[in-house]
A = this chain, B = another copy of it.
Amino acid sequence: MNEIKKGIKVPEPTLRRLPWYLAFLKMAASKAETRISSTQISRAINVSAPQIAKDLSYLEISGKTRIGYDVHLLISVLEQYLGFTKVHKAFLFGVGNLGAALLHDKGLSQFGLEILAGFDVNPWVVGTAIQGIPVYHIRDYPEIQLSTKASIGILTVPVQKAQEVAEEIVQGGIRAIWNFTPFRIHIPEDIVIQNTSIYAHLAVMFNRMENKL
């Protein structure tokens, strides 16, 4: 297998497309296909074939003329490259509606994200467990982090707590924050922030619907 390029910064649009290719390839594999061309991928998912070839070239994998890509090889290279085969330990902060929902999502662990614990201040949830994941009081976080060393903090607290809790979890040693709040948190440059505000997507969808009436 070709070695994966290290230290090369892949453009974010490419990174976002790679999981689409992976999803399509898994579907092809489930239909027992073994070879696939960028043209076939292109037809299925609406990205141009040259773009697909360029995106995949970051993985140093190339399709063979008239033969295409080896489906299983490409799946395993993509999964490895995207970090889905590695276990990333995470804590979730804010076991409210969305937080509890994410604890219910067993799919995350299939993509390499293992949520080890939730934290909250609400006495109704502290001390309980959701899908086997224990929920602790936030004041116990520094101590639990010392022994567990989670690298990712999932931020699902109420918006007015976002900045404060973000600072607290960075203090504890978290290296990346997956921010589901609509608040743009300020955090030291060496911490990775990934913003996923699903309610903003909702607003975009509602607006487009209005415009199509």
Separation of A57 and B113 alpha carbons in the complex (Å): 41
A211 close to B9 (CB less than 8 A): yes
A16 close to B204 (CB less than 8 A): yes
Tell me if A207 is interfacial: C-beta within 8 Å of chain B: yes
Looking across the interface, which residue of chain B has its beta carbon closest to that of A180? Answer: B198
CB 8 Å contact bits of A138-154 with B (1 = contact, 0 = none): 00000000000001100
Chain B residues in 8 Å Cβ range of A107: 96-98, 199
**Residues of A in contact with B, size category:** 35 or more
Interface residues of A in 29-84 (CB under 8 A from B): 30, 44-47, 82-84
Chain B residues in 8 Å Cβ range of A182: 19-20, 22-23
A192 close to B176 (CB less than 8 A): no
> Looking at the complex, which of A116-124, A165-173, A183-191 is the stretch in contact with chain B?
A183-191
Chain B residues in 8 Å Cβ range of A24: 159, 183
Looking across the interface, which residue of chain B has its beta carbon closest to that of A194? Answer: B205
Separation of A108 and B176 alpha carbons in the complex (Å): 25
Separation of A82 and B207 alpha carbons in the complex (Å): 7
Separation of A179 and B45 alpha carbons in the complex (Å): 14
Interface of A with B (CB < 8 Å)? 7, 9-10, 12, 15-16, 18-20, 22-24, 26-27, 30, 44-47, 82-84, 86, 88, 96-98, 100-102, 104-108, 111-113, 151-152, 159-160, 175-176, 178, 181-184, 186, 190, 192, 194, 196-212
Q: List 20 A-B contacts (CB under 8 A).
A: A15-B203, A15-B207, A16-B200, A18-B200, A18-B203, A19-B199, A19-B203, A20-B183, A20-B200, A23-B159, A23-B183, A24-B159, A27-B159, A45-B183, A97-B105, A97-B107, A100-B104, A152-B205, A176-B209, A190-B212
